Chain A
Amino acid sequence: MTEFFAALTDPNLPFLRYALLTGIFASIPFGIIGSFVVVRKISYIAGAIAHCVLGGIGLGLYMEKAVGVTWFGPMQGAVVVALLAAVILALVSRHARQREDSVIGALWAVGMATGLLFIARTPGYVDPMSYLFGNILLVSRGDFFFVLALDVLVLSLVWLFYNSFLAVCFDEEFACLRGVKTGWIYLLLLCLAALTIVLLVRVVGIVMVIALLTLPASIAGNFSRNILQMMMYSVLLCAGFVVVGLGVSYDLDLPSGPVIIIIAAIVYLLVLLGGRFKKVFL
């Protein structure tokens, strides 16, 4: 760890500072949206959006390198496709209750397939690995500003619509009866989740998005009396996992995404075992 802290202050390694700052500030939307995803039990939907993001990345790469559209790169593609997936999933959950499961699964696979096809047609070598498994060390200055913008967006919208989000997660039927526009609130929640997922893809990669979105919130759920507490704890836990994960991965020269996830999973396991232990012996 001392090596890691020394490297942080090294003027020749600015990417490490960006990575750390991005990770810490990104933990705010991860923790907040993750809590909603966990209590509403939509991690499968989050997974589908994450995998669709590859379609957007592929589209962005293709537009940028094959078509020559400079303003539409992988990041823009990811945002557009993630939002599109969120809209489709919100519509599906509203209109096709029984088939929702199949549609989620189909979207999941189609997103990935489209992405890989675009990448295959993109000139030059593109390594899909960094998108699948993430590399926080590749985050740029632009990513950092995206994180700050998302922080402001998520914090303000959740502050404004907190009660509506909570009601839709706890009891959608009752919320609808009280005149809450549940369809729109759910769509807004999925869109915020989609933007958060784009960012998560940058940090831990498509495959591990669900883990970093749900593990901190699930751990926090064990100690929280209400969602507000759950959000605060999961933001702190998430930031902790990213910082420690980055440090460990730097010291041991391992990829950062998997290290972050493994640390989160170990803590989750310990918390579960601790809870069991307390129940049995105390």
Chain B
Amino acid sequence: MRAINQTGAAISINGLSFSYDSEEVLTDVNLEVYPFDSICVVGPNGGGKSTLIKLIIGLLTPDTGTIRVFGEKPETARLRIGYVPQYALYDQQFPIAVFDVVCMGCLGKSFTGRYTRNDKERAMAALAETGLSSIADKPFSLLSGGQRQRVLIARALASNGDILILDEPTANIDHESELHFFDLLTELNKRMTILMVTHEVGFASTFFKRIACVNKQVVIHPTSALTGDLIRDMYDGDMRMIRHDHCCSEEGHKHD
């Protein structure tokens, strides 16, 4: 594959461990994400998925080990990351228009945070790309789950980053929105590296190039042609595939 053969990792993690207070959440994590890669991050609740993401975007700092994003520290490289958090975390009554949410993707270039005409044009372009131009002036609070999700993706696109990181974007959205969502991701993957946290592995078979299994440690399943059959072989059946109560280790998966 073109992406994997390119030299220089988009994200490279070496010997990383992290703990909240005394509880170790991630141990000896090694991960290479290539440019134009698309990785699906799966794992049980509390397995460290969100922690891994927060480490990559520099909101947390590792206890040991290193993280490099395009060869730089996350704190300096994070302007190149477009981040899409879970939309359910937002205050339902916050009075803000869709366009103003998307503009936030352009923050960080000036000291005060005032937008230039160029910023606003980029926000409009991001809205057009996600098919939201017609609702730019609508209040964010009146949108459906699927629409809100797309607004947050548009905001991440307005950042003009090279990596798109999404945290549980398919939670609580209907099936049709989900299909549109993956069409959009396929399009974006042509120019961006995509890393997505999810608990629904079903999508992995159609869109993602690789799966990262996070449960204290991270195990990557490199699959150049991931099909439903292959996943079935790998996970010993569909039912097992959505179970994440197993332990991932260096040697591979141990199923009981």
Chain A window 170-181, contacts with chain B (Cβ cutoff 8 Å), 1 for yes, 0 for no:
110111111110
Does B170 have its Cβ within 8 Å of any Cβ on chain A? Answer: no
Contacts of A175 in B (CB 8 A): 104, 107
Please judge, given known A-B contacts A225-B95, A229-B95, whether A174 and B83 are in contact too, CB under 8 Å. Answer: yes
User: A226–B115 Cα gap in the complex (Å)?
Assistant: 17
Does B113 have its Cβ within 8 Å of any Cβ on chain A? Answer: yes
Q: Tell me if B's interface is mostly helix, strand, loop or mixed.
A: loop
| A64-94 CB contacts (< 8 Å) to partner B | none
Tell whether, in the assembled complex, residue B104 and residue A170 are in contact, meaning their CB atoms are under 8 Å apart.
yes
- Range, interface on chain A: 20 to 34
Please judge, given known A-B contacts A171-B90, A176-B59, A177-B57, whether A166 and B105 are in contact too, CB under 8 Å. Answer: no
Contacts of A163 in B (CB 8 A): 103-104, 107, 112-115
Minimum CB–CB distance for A126 against chain B, Å: 42
Does A221 have its Cβ within 8 Å of any Cβ on chain B? Answer: yes
Contacts of A39 in B (CB 8 A): 91, 94-95
Q: For residue B103, which residue of chain A has the nearest CB?
A: A163
User: A39–B93 Cα gap in the complex (Å)?
Assistant: 8
Tell whether, in the assembled complex, residue B114 and residue A178 are in contact, meaning their CB atoms are under 8 Å apart.
no
Please judge, given known A-B contacts A39-B91, A174-B104, whether A227 and B96 are in contact too, CB under 8 Å. Answer: yes
User: A227–B93 Cα gap in the complex (Å)?
Assistant: 11
Does B108 have its Cβ within 8 Å of any Cβ on chain A? Answer: yes
* Closest 4 pairs (CB-CB, A-B): A179-B108, A164-B113, A178-B108, A178-B107
Q: Given A164-B107, A221-B93, 16 other A-B contacts at CB below 8 A?
A: A161-B113, A162-B114, A163-B107, A163-B113, A170-B90, A170-B101, A171-B85, A176-B59, A178-B79, A180-B113, A221-B95, A224-B95, A225-B95, A225-B139, A227-B96, A229-B95
B binding-site residues for A, Cβ under 8 Å: 57-59, 78-79, 81, 83, 85, 90-91, 93-97, 100-101, 103-105, 107-109, 112-115, 139, 155, 159
